[in-house]
Structure 1
Amino acid sequence: MTLMDPFGFGRAAFDYWRDSIERSVLYLDVMRERGNQYLEHMEQTKPSVLGFETEELLDGRTLPRPVNYELLRVLPPEGVEIDLQKRPFVVVDPRAGHGPGIGGFKPDSELGVALRAGHPCYFIGFLPFPEPGQTVEDVVEAEIAFVRHVIERHPETSEKPMVVGNCQAGWQVMMAAALEPDVFGPILIAGAPLSYWAGERGKAPMRYTGGITGGSWITALTSDMGNGLFDGAWLVQNFERLNPANTYWKKQYHLYDNVDTEAGRYLEFERWWGGHVVLGGEEIQYIVDNLFVGNRLSTAQLVTRDGRRIDLRNVRSPVVVFCSRGDDITPPPQALGWIRDLYEGEEDIIANEQTIIYCLHDTTGHLGIFVSGSVSRKEHTEFTANMDYIDVMPPGLYETTISRAEDQEESELVERDYLLEFSPRNFDELDNEVQHKPEDDRRFATVARLSEINLGFYRLYLQPWIQATITPESARWMRRMHPIRLGYKLLSDRNPLSVPLPVMADAIRENRHPVDDDNLFKAMETIASDQIVSNLDAFRDLRDSLIERVFLDTFGQPLLQAAVGLYGDAHVHRRRPGAEPEHRRFIENRQAELREKIAEGSHHEAVMRSMIYVLGGAPATDERNFKRLRASRAELEPSTRLCDFKHLVREQFFILKLDREKALNTLPILLKDRSNEEIDEHLRHLEHVLAASGELSPHAAERLDQIKALFDQARPEAVKVKAEAPSAAGKTEQGKTSAVTSANSAETAKTAAKPAGDDNNSAAPVTPKAVPKDDGKAVGNDEDNAAPDTPVKTEPKATTKSAQRKRPNRKR
C-alpha cells in the first residue's frame, strides 16, 4: 500500500479501524475477567496463587503467639520423585501488600526448581488479615517454629533446611536466623532490602520517601484510618508509582496490542498483583520505624521484647544474596549494604565464621528476581544444585558468576547447562556496588530523628481524634473505595454496563480480523505508544531527580541537623556495632580450641588442610572440585555425612588462618601411620581434585609442590633409608625423588620443601623466610585471604606433647 493508491489507503484505514474496535472489545472483556477473578480471589478464606498442590502442616493461629501464617508441604507434581535423604527446601513468601504464592505460582519457579531436583519442599504463606495484636517478632518466632517442624519431619537427614526469603521475607528470615542460628541451613535472600539508607544517587528513589512525607507519622495515620489495620493496596500503589510508564500505559497497551495471545499470561499475573492483603498497624509501624526510616536492622540496634539483640553477625549459615542492577525497589546497595554496615572488612567476616555470597543480575526487575522463568532456569537452578557446596565453603566474602558448562573443561562433572563459580571478594570490590556516602547517612539520620518528633506530635494531637471517629465499618468502606481496589470492581460482572461484553467478545473471536504490522496506521499506533512511554519516562526522571534534590538540600542543612542533635558528631549516625565481650571471649576460646587440634587428626585432616592451602592461591573455585572431593571421600569413608564434611572443611580452614606455619609443619605428623602406597594415593587424590576446574596457576602449582614435599616427609623410615643410598650416587631415578624426603632424617629438622612463590606468582625458587608467629589476634586477621603464600619453616616432629601422642584415625 502506498500513499499514491487511494483505494489501498482506504482499505488500510478500514482494516485498522475494524481491528482496533475488535481489540478494544476483547481488551475490555479481559479487564472484566480480571475484575471477576479479583472478586473471587478476595472472597476466598485462604487465597493463594501457589501453582502446586499443598497440605497444611501447621497453622500459625494455634501458636502461643498467634499469627496469620501457615506452613504447607508442597506435594510433588506427577512424575516428580522426592528423595527424603536430600536437604529440605523452604520458601518464605513476602508480605508486602500482595497475597501469598509468588515464589511458586508457575512450574519454572523456586519451588519448581527444588522439586525437580528431588528436594522435599515446604512453603510458608499467610492469610489476608492479621491476628489481633500480631507483631513482627511474633511472625519471626512463628517462622522459627515452622523451620523446626520441618527439621523434625526429616530425621533421616542431618542437613538443616535451605530457606529462601523473597523481598520482605528476606529480612524476616535473617532476623530469625540471627536469633536461632542453629535452626537454619543455607539462606537465600532474593531482592531483600536490609540496608534501607543505601543507594546510588540518581537511582533508588523509594529511599527518599520517608523524608519527603515527614517520617512514619503518615503510616500511623493510615493505620488509624483503617481502624488499626493497614491496607496493603497503599504499598502496591507505591510500587506502581515508581514506573508510571509501565503502570499507566505500557503494561495495558501490551495487552491491547497482543490481546489475542496475552490474555492468559496477563490474568495469571494480575491474580497475584491484585490480591491485596492487610497488615496490622503495629506490624507496619515497626517495619517503617525500624527498617525503612530507622535502618536499625543492618546496624544491630534491634532488641526483642525479651531483651535479645538481633545481630546479623550471629547468623552461622551461609548467606546467598541475589539482587539485580535492574531492580529499582531493592537495588544492589540496599541488598548488600548491610555487609558494609556490620563488618570492618572481609577479615572481620572470617573472624565471625560467616560465609556471604552475592550474585548480581544485570537486567531483571524486582519481581523477575523470584518469578522470572529465565532466572529460575538459570540462577535459582544453580543455587539449588550447589547448596551443599555452598554449605561447606570456608568463611569469607564471595561473588558468583554463571557461565555455560559446555565452555568449561571437565564439563562432564557439571550436570546442568550452567556452571556456578565462586570468586573471593574484598571490601574495595564490594564498595563498587554499595557506593557508600557518609554525608548521605547524616541526612537519613536526620530524617529518622524528625520522624520520631513528628510521630510524637501526631500521637499527642491528632491520633486521639482520629481513633475516636473511625469505626470498623467506615474502615472497611475506605478499603473498598481505594482507587486500586475500585478499578477491579468497576470492570467486573457486578457493573451492569459490562453485561454485553462477553457476548460481543465471543462473536469477535469467532470472526476476528487482525491487521499486519506493516499496516500504516498500525505502525503509527506503535510510534505513538513509544512516544507516550518516552514522555512518561521523562516525567518519572524529572520527578525523581527533583525529589532527590529536595531531599539532599533539605536534610543536608547544617541548621536542621544541629536542631535534631546530629551536626558535628561524626559517629552518631550509622554507628558500626562493636564486638560484644562475650563474642570476644568466644573468639579467644575458639582460637585456644583450634590450637590444641592443629596436630590432632588423621590423613583426612591432612588432605583437607592441603586442599585448602593450595586452593587458597586460586582466584576462583566451583562445584567440580567439590564433587570430586566429596565423591572420593565417600569412597574412603562411606559413612561420612555432609555435616561432618562441612565441619572438617571449616575447622581446617581456621587452623590454617590461625597458625599457618604450624598447620603445614604438622602435616607429616598427621600422616605418620600411612604407608608409602597410601601417601602416593593421597597425592594422586589431591591432584585429581585440583585438576577438576582446569590447569593450576603457577602460584597454586608451587603450593602443591610444597605439599608434596611435606607428604614425602611422612613416608616410612624404611623407604627413606632405602632412598638415600642411590641418592648418594646421585644418578638413579629413585635418588631424584628422595632428594627432598631425606631432609627429614634424625640429624636435621630443617625442611627441603620448595617454598611457595612470591606474590607475582614467579615459578623460580626463592629463599625461605620465617613466617611471623601468631600474635594472638582474632581468627582471620591475616594479610592473605584464605591460605597465605609465605614459605614454610618446618619443625621437628616431637616439638609438642600433642605431637608425641599417638592419635587413632577418626572417622569424619
Structure 2
Amino acid sequence: MNFFANPLMPTQARPSASQEDATASVSDAMASLFDPFGFGRAAFDYWRDSVERSVLYLDVMRERGNQYLAHMEQTKPSVLGFETEVLVDGRTLPQPTNYELLRVIPPKGVETDPLSRPFVVVDPRAGHGPGIGGFKPDSELGVALRAGHPCYFIGFLPFPEPGQTVEDVVESEVAFLRHVIERHPETTEKPMVVGNCQAGWQLMMAAALEPDVFGPILIAGAPLSYWAGEHGKAPMRYTGGMTGGSWVTALTSDLGNGLFDGAWLVQNFERLNPANTYWKKQYHLFANVDTESNRYLEFERWWGGHVVLGGEEIQYIVDNLFVGNRLSTAQLVTRDGRRIDLRNVRSPVVVFCSRGDDITPPPQALGWIRDLYEDENDIIANEQTIVYCQHDTTGHLGIFVSSSVSRKEHTEFTANMDYIDVMPPGLYETTITHADDHDEGELIERDYLLEFTPRDFDELDREVMHKPEDDRRFATVARISEINLGLYRLYMQPWLQAVMTPEAARLIRRMHPIRLGYKLLSDRNPMTVPLPVMADRIRLSRHPVGEDNLFKAVETMTSDQIVTGLNAFRDARDSATERLFMDIYGQPLLQAAVGLYGDAHVHRRRPGAEPEHRRFIEQRQEELRAKIAKGGSHEAVMRALIYILGGAPATDERNFKRLRASRAALEPNAKLCDFKRLVREQFFILKLDREQALNALPALLKGQSNDEIDAHMSHLEDVLSASGELSEHVASRLTQVGELFDQARPAVQQQVASSPQAPQQAAKDVAEKPAAKPATASTKKATPAKRKTPPEGE
C-alpha cells in the first residue's frame, strides 16, 4: 500500500503505473520492517477512511439542508412518487380546506381497468407533508396500480385554510369520494379507501357519518383508542397526563398566532427512540456513506417536510382523541347534531398494526372494537365485518412505507378486498403464509396466501389488555385537562393573543431546533462552501477500509455501546414516567376531587348496551325470521355453504376464487353487491335459528331436478375442497347438507336415496369423482355417519 500517494494530486502530475508499483513495493517493505504486526497500517487506513467518510457525511447533510429549503419553498410540496392531476381542490368547497383530490396517472407499462374498484389513499397530516402512501414504486399506490385499479390520492397543502376544522376535513373527504364514485358509474363496487395513521381515524369518522360512499376500509397504524396500552410499552399515551392536559397545545397554537407547527409533533416522535434519533440513524449513514446517501436523502425529504395545522384542528384532536378518547365511545357530536358512532360504518374494516410500533401499538389500534361492542356477537348483530392483521416487527412508518410490507401485506389486502367485502359479519384475524406451504397451488395467484380465522373477545383481549383501573386514571387526566385548559383560556390566552403577531410566529417556527438542524448545514451557511469540492475530490480516489480492520471493528462496537446506553436511558425514562403517571392519577383523593372516584363507567361507556340499540336488533331479528323459508336454490346453496364453513377453523381466498367462478357460471348477471347481500342475509338467518334454517333447505330446493341438485352438491364440494383436505367436522356437515338436499329430490330419486345401500353408494360416488374435483379425496377420508344437527356453538 502506498502511504505517500496523494489522492488530491492532479492526474497529469501523478507518477506512471510502473513508478507507483515500485514506490508501493518500497513502502510495503518499509512498513513491514517498522510495523511487523500491521497496527500502524491499520491505524493509518482507518484514519484516512474516517476523514473521508466525515467529509462525505457532512456533504450529505449539506445536501439534506438544501433539499429541505427547496422543498419548503414549494407551493405544493409532496414526496409522491407518481405523476398526478388535480381533480378537486378543497379550497373551492363550501367549507374550504387545504386538501385536494388527485388522480394518479399510471406509469408506463402499467394498465388500469376503469371497471375495477377505485382505490383511494388518504395521507396522514401529523406534522409531515403529503406523499408517504405513494413514496416509492413498492407502496400502497404502487400495489394497487399493478393490480389494475384506478387510483386516487387525497393530499394536502402546507397551510390550512382560515377557520378550517376537523369536521370540514371529514366533509371534504366525503365530497372527494363522491366525486370518485361519479367518475366510475359503471362500477358497482364502492371505492376501497386506505387511511394511514392520523388519516385512519378521520376516515372512520367520515364512514360513520356517510357510510354509503365507502367500500372496504383499510386503516394502517391508526390510533382510535388512545387510552389503551400495555404496561411497560407505548409511553406516548402518558404525555397528556404528564403535561397537565391540552393547555400546552393551546399555548403552542397561540405562539404560532393560531397555527400549530407540525415540527413539534415530529419532535415528539423522535423523542420516543433517542438511540435512533440522536445516533443510530446518523451513524448508519456515516458508516455506509458510499451507498446510503440516496436512500437517506429520499426519506429525509418527507421526514423534514414539516407542515402547519390550524390551532382549532389540533385542539379538537388532542381534546377528543388523545386525551378524551371520545371517538371510540361514540361521544363525539358534530356541529349540526349528528353523533359520530363507529357502529354506523357499513363497510368491512381492515385494521393493520404492528407489535413493533411504539406510536400506535396494537392495543390502540384495536381497542376501539372492545370499547364499542360487548362481544363478537354484538359485532355480528351490527352487521359489521372487522378484520385485523398484526405484523411482528415493523415500526410505525414501516406499516405504510416499507417495501417488504407493501409486497406482502398490502398486496394481499388489495387482492382480497372483494373477498373481505362479502365475508359474513364477525371478528377475524388474518395470517399471511407463503404459497409454497399450501397445496392447490393453481388457486394461489401470488407469492402469499391470506387466511382468515374467526376470533372472539377473549382472544382480542389478549392483544388489547384492557384494564378498568387505567381507564379511571385516563379519565382523571381528561377532567384535569379541561380544568387547566379553562384556566389557561381565562388568564393567559387573552394576553398572549394580544401580543403575538404573524411575523413573531414565523420567527418562532424558523427557530425551532429541528428546522434549524436542516438550515444550519446548507449552502446558506458560508462555512459549508468547501464541502462539495472536498467531497468530489474524495469520491475520485476513495480509500474505504473493510470490516476486518481492527479500528473499524472498535468503531462498530463503540457505536453498539452508545445505542445500548441510549436505549437504557430510554427504558429508565419511560419506566419512571409510567410509574409517576400511575401514582399521580391513581390517587383516590385526586380522582374524587374531579368527581370520578367510584364512578363505574369513567367516560368509557359501551354504546351497545343502550335500549334503542336493543330494539333495533330485535326488529332486525323479526325481519330475518320471516325470510327463513323464503327464496330458492341460490339461498339454499349459500345457506348450506355458510353452515358448512362455520365448522372450519379458517378460510382463505381459494374458497372465494372457486365460489366466484361457480357463481359466475350459475348467475352470470349477478352483481357483487347482490351477492354480498345474499351472503350476509343467509348468515344472519343461520345465526338466528340454525335448526329451522337447515330444515327449510328442502323447501328452498323444491322443484329442482336431480341434475340441478347434483350440480349444487358438486358446487359445494368444489368450493370446500379449495382449502385442502376437509376436517372431520366440515365433512360431517357436508354429509348432513347432502341428506337435506336429497329430501328435495323428485319422488323416484327419494326412493333410491332411502334404500339401505344409498349412503354407501353416495360415499362411493364421492370417492370415485375425478381428480379435477379435489373435494373427493378429502371427503372420502373424513365422511362420517349420519347425525343430527349439531348443537349451537359447535
| Contact 1:92 1:163 (C-alpha < 8 Å) held by counterparts | yes
Residues 1:723 and 1:653: Cα distance change in structure 2 (over 3 Å) = closer
Aligned-partner Cα distance in 1 for 2:82–2:687: 47
How far apart are residue 269 of structure 1 and its match? 0.1
Alignment counterpart, residue 382 of structure 1, candidates 412, 418, 439:
412
- The one-letter amino acid paired with 1:551 is F
Aligned-partner Cα distance in 1 for 2:571–2:354: 20
1:179 aligns with 2:213: no
- The one-letter amino acid paired with 2:155 is G
Aligned-partner Cα distance in 2 for 1:596–1:4: 100
Aligned-partner Cα distance in 1 for 2:674–2:167: 33
How far apart are residue 372 of structure 1 and its match? 0.1
Alignment counterpart, residue 140 of structure 1, candidates 161, 167, 170:
170
1:124 aligns with 2:154: yes
1:364 is paired with a residue of what secondary structure? coil
Aligned-partner Cα distance in 2 for 1:175–1:519: 57
Q: Where do residues 549-560 of structure 1 align in structure 2 (5 Å cutoff)? A: 549-560=579-590
Residue matched to 2:112: 82
Q: TM-score, normalised by structure 2?
A: 0.92
1:182 is paired with a residue of what secondary structure? helix
Q: Where do residues 327-338 of structure 1 align in structure 2 (5 Å cutoff)? A: 327-338=357-368
How far apart are residue 593 of structure 1 and its match? 2.3
| Contact 1:723 1:735 (C-alpha < 8 Å) held by counterparts | no
How far apart are residue 2 of structure 1 and its match? 11
Residue matched to 2:503: 473
| Contact 1:3 1:9 (C-alpha < 8 Å) held by counterparts | no
RMSD: 1.8
1:230 aligns with 2:260: yes
| Contact 2:346 2:384 (C-alpha < 8 Å) held by counterparts | yes
Residue matched to 2:17: none
Residue matched to 1:628: 658
Q: Where do residues 288-299 of structure 1 align in structure 2 (5 Å cutoff)? A: 288-299=318-329
1:311 aligns with 2:341: yes
| Contact 1:181 1:316 (C-alpha < 8 Å) held by counterparts | yes
Residue matched to 1:803: none
Q: Where do residues 36-115 of structure 1 align in structure 2 (5 Å cutoff)? A: 36-115=66-145
Residue matched to 2:64: 34
1:348 aligns with 2:378: yes
Residue matched to 1:522: 552
Alignment counterpart, residue 540 of structure 2, candidates 502, 507, 510:
510
1:191 aligns with 2:218: no
Aligned-partner Cα distance in 1 for 2:736–2:785: 13
1:82 is paired with a residue of what secondary structure? coil
Q: Where do residues 642-657 of structure 1 align in structure 2 (5 Å cutoff)? A: 642-657=672-687
Aligned-partner Cα distance in 2 for 1:160–1:293: 34
1:532 is paired with a residue of what secondary structure? helix
- The one-letter amino acid paired with 2:538 is I
Aligned-partner Cα distance in 2 for 1:77–1:422: 33
| Contact 1:2 1:9 (C-alpha < 8 Å) held by counterparts | no
- The one-letter amino acid paired with 2:253 is S
| Contact 1:188 1:321 (C-alpha < 8 Å) held by counterparts | yes
Q: Where do residues 401-440 of structure 1 align in structure 2 (5 Å cutoff)? A: 401-440=431-470
1:712 aligns with 2:775: no
1:700 aligns with 2:725: no
Residues 1:7 and 1:318: Cα distance change in structure 2 (over 3 Å) = same
Residues 1:13 and 1:389: Cα distance change in structure 2 (over 3 Å) = same
Residue matched to 1:221: 251
Aligned-partner Cα distance in 1 for 2:595–2:783: 56
| 1:339-387: CA deviation from partner (whole Å, max 9, x where unpaired) | 1111110000000000000001000000000000000000000000000
| 1:535-565: CA deviation from partner (whole Å, max 9, x where unpaired) | 1001000100010010000111111111111
Residues 1:665 and 1:766: Cα distance change in structure 2 (over 3 Å) = closer
1:666 aligns with 2:696: yes
1:442 aligns with 2:449: no
Alignment counterpart, residue 623 of structure 2, candidates 579, 593, 596:
593
Aligned-partner Cα distance in 1 for 2:392–2:174: 33
- The one-letter amino acid paired with 1:505 is A
| 1:120-159: CA deviation from partner (whole Å, max 9, x where unpaired) | 0000000000000000000001001111111111011100
1:679 aligns with 2:698: no
Residue matched to 1:23: 53
| Contact 2:229 2:364 (C-alpha < 8 Å) held by counterparts | yes
Q: Where do residues 268-283 of structure 1 align in structure 2 (5 Å cutoff)? A: 268-283=298-313
Residues 1:711 and 1:766: Cα distance change in structure 2 (over 3 Å) = closer
| Contact 1:333 1:433 (C-alpha < 8 Å) held by counterparts | yes
Flag as ranges the 4+ runs of structure 1 deviating above 4 A. Answer: 1-7, 579-582, 721-724, 732-738, 761-769
Residue matched to 2:667: 637
2:353 is paired with a residue of what secondary structure? strand
Aligned-partner Cα distance in 1 for 2:554–2:209: 59
Residue matched to 2:591: 561
Residues 1:5 and 1:410: Cα distance change in structure 2 (over 3 Å) = same
Residue matched to 1:160: 190
Aligned-partner Cα distance in 2 for 1:2–1:116: 60
Aligned-partner Cα distance in 2 for 1:341–1:647: 27
| 1:476-527: CA deviation from partner (whole Å, max 9, x where unpaired) | 0000000000111101111111111111111110111111111111111111
| Contact 1:398 1:425 (C-alpha < 8 Å) held by counterparts | yes
Alignment counterpart, residue 541 of structure 1, candidates 547, 571, 576:
571
1:34 is paired with a residue of what secondary structure? helix
1:463 aligns with 2:493: yes
Residues 1:768 and 1:634: Cα distance change in structure 2 (over 3 Å) = closer
- The one-letter amino acid paired with 2:444 is V
- The one-letter amino acid paired with 1:497 is M
Aligned-partner Cα distance in 2 for 1:37–1:608: 58
Aligned-partner Cα distance in 2 for 1:733–1:10: 92
Percent of residue pairs bearing the same amino acid type = 82
| Contact 2:735 2:784 (C-alpha < 8 Å) held by counterparts | no
Q: Where do residues 659-808 of structure 1 align in structure 2 (5 Å cutoff)? A: 659-721=689-751, 727=755, 763=784, 784=793, 789=794
1:138 is paired with a residue of what secondary structure? helix
| 1:661-711: CA deviation from partner (whole Å, max 9, x where unpaired) | 221111111111210011111111111110000111111111111100000
Aligned-partner Cα distance in 2 for 1:575–1:629: 41
1:134 is paired with a residue of what secondary structure? coil
| Contact 2:260 2:308 (C-alpha < 8 Å) held by counterparts | yes
Aligned-partner Cα distance in 2 for 1:165–1:715: 51
Residue matched to 1:202: 232
Number of equivalences: 746
How far apart are residue 768 of structure 1 and its match? 6.9
Residue matched to 1:758: none
How far apart are residue 167 of structure 1 and its match? 0.3
